[in-house]
Amino acid sequence: MSRSDLADRLKVPEDDLRAWEMGIERVPPPHLVTMTNVLACPLSTFFEGLVADDHHDLGVIIV
Domain ranges of the chain: 3-58
Q: What is the pLDDT of residue 31?
A: 93
List of the chain residues with pLDDT < 50: 61-63
Considering the entire predicted model, what is its pTM? Answer: 0.69
Residue 60: the pLDDT is 53
For residue 50, the model assigns a pLDDT of: 72
**What is the model's pLDDT at position 38?**
94
What is the spatial distance between Cα 63 and Cα 41, in angstroms, rounded to a whole number? Answer: 24
- Cα–Cα distances in angstroms (integers) from residue 12 to residues 32, 38, 49, 51, 57, in the given order: 12, 14, 27, 29, 24
